């Protein structure tokens, strides 16, 4: 799930994005969190969803 970036100091819900680096995709959050690099975009999106719901 690709959402727009938000500044890290933005209050409220976490805003996550996916960032592609070559053959890897990383989920990132406006709070500063970053998931592990994944070859599967779906797994990176799942990491982001899990982080947002935590």
With respect to residue 46, please indicate whether it lies within any of the assigned structural domains: yes
For residue 41, the surrounding DSSP H or E stretch is helix 41-53
pTM higher than the cut 0.85? no
With respect to residue 11, please indicate whether it lies within any of the assigned structural domains: no
Instruction: Round the average pLDDT of the chain to a whole number and report it.
Output: 83
Residue 2 has pLDDT above 70, yes or no: no
- Burial label for 27, CB within 10 Å (0-12, 13-18, 19+), is buried
Tally the domains of the chain.
1
With respect to residue 30, please indicate whether it lies within any of the assigned structural domains: yes
Domain with 27 in it: 16-53
With respect to residue 24, please indicate whether it lies within any of the assigned structural domains: yes
């Amino acid at each position: 799930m690709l959402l727009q970036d938000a500044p890290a100091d933005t209050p409220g819900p976490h805003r996550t994005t996916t960032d592609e680096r070559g053959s890897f995709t990383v989920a990132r959050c406006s709070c500063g969190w970053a998931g592990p690099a994944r070859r599967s975009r779906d797994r990176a999106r799942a990491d982001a969803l899990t982080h947002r719901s935590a």
